[in-house]
Amino acid sequence: MTEYQKLIDELTKNHILKSDELLQLIECNDAEALDYLFSKSRQCRELSYGKDIYIRGLIEISNCCKNDCYYCGIRRSNTNVQRYHLTTEQIRECCRLGYELGFRTFVLQGGEDLYYDDDKLCLLISEIKKEFSDCALTLSLGEKSRESYQRYYDAGADRYLLRHETANEVHYGRLHPDEMSAKNRKQCLYDLKEIGYQVGSGFMVGSPYQTTKLIVEDLLFLKDLQPAMVGIGPFIPHHETPFAAETGGTLEQTLTLIALIRLLLPHALIPATTALGTIASDGRSRGILAGANVIMPNLSPEDVRQKYMIYDNKLSTGAEAAESLNQLKEEMKKIGYQVVVSRGDVIKMKDDA
């Protein structure tokens, strides 16, 4: 048995490794060892979630943002974005369409848009939860005060997605302007967890200045946070950002990391992200075969999809579009998995430690 296989077996058994061992696996490009890793991560996910694929209807409610993250296409300094925010009635209409299609989770994602104050958001949340009482509602609206998070939770929100982006403060500072900090981002995540949300975190793979050592820090941060969901996807440059000329993250690196995260956090809900589907036509399927179990098709009104361009060439058609769910179902069936009509909540997490 090779050294890699030994490490993979240990990770499969104990769900943790030492930093230098994780580093070795992250850098592994031995095809046989990677096949072995993926077979273990698939088994691990099947023990928790079988062959079910959970779908989430992603509604991109606004591309207005007060932040200026260096990597993001909808950062406030990009004056070439045609800004929009959906009305609450438009958002509810998206949910109605999604419900008909079989979605039982809606994700409201957007820039940090001051148009949606807490009163507006709470009303929207409670209206959606009243109309779709068998559905889960996920928010992904960035950094807010603990009081605001509490209000959204009390109004009925179930889950919150907030990628930590990078666990390392210096690296965080190279990706964001001074007014943002890794410390605050992490505090938001701990607040969300304490309030009772199912919390999702994650990071971009191959972001500028990222090193393998930094990725190890990300994995250990996730292990410590124990989120219910982990979203990772390749960094893809956007031509109107300071990182326009940077190199993007790779499919291979992202797949390896999905598999490692699956083994570190066996019960996590892990999406095969749009970014993964954008850099490779079979990216989503390969993400599932590496241990992911969630897909988030786009349920936004078609006329705004092109305006939510956080990176170049972001997919919003084909199997990425909610209305093409049959195409996605076929793709999943071909690789032996089935899309299910379910809220797809996280299963018990007490064994993950």
Q: By the 8 A CB rule, do 158 and 138 touch? A: yes
Of 162 and 328, nearer to ligand SAM (C-beta) is 162
Selected range binding ligand SAM among 51-59, 129-137, 140-148, 166-174, rule: CB under 6 A:
140-148
- Three-state DSSP state, 38: helix
In whole angstroms, the minimum distance from the beta carbon of 202 to ligand SAM comes to 7
Strands (E), the chain: 52-55, 57-62, 105-110, 136-140, 159-161, 198-205, 229-234, 294-295, 338-340
Figure out which of the listed residues 56, 85, 171, 238 binds ligand SAM, where binding follows CB under 6 A.
238
Sign of CA dihedral 324, 93, 149, 143: positive
Figure out which of the listed residues 40, 163, 176, 284 binds ligand SAM, where binding follows CB under 6 A.
163
Q: What is the DSSP string of 87-107?
A: -HHHHHHHHHHHHHHT--EEE
How far apart are alpha carbons 141 and 15 in whole angstroms? 31
List the x/- string, 9-48, binding to ligand SAM by CB under 6 A.
----------------------------------------
List the x/- string, 290-329, binding to ligand SAM by CB under 6 A.
--------------------xx------------------
Provide Rg for the chain, Cα atoms.
19
Of 42 and 85, nearer to ligand SAM (C-beta) is 85
Q: Which residues contact 12 (CB under 8 A, 6 or more apart)?
A: 40, 43, 44, 263
Of 111 and 227, nearer to ligand SAM (C-beta) is 111
Figure out which of the listed residues 7, 124, 162, 309 binds ligand SAM, where binding follows CB under 6 A.
162
Q: For residues 178-207, which are near ligand SAM according to CB under 6 A?
A: 204
- How crowded is residue 250: how many other Cβ atoms within 10 Å of its Cβ? 15
Which residues would be at the binding site for ligand SAM (CB under 6 A)?
71-72, 109, 111-112, 140-142, 162-163, 165, 204, 233, 235-236, 238, 275, 310-311
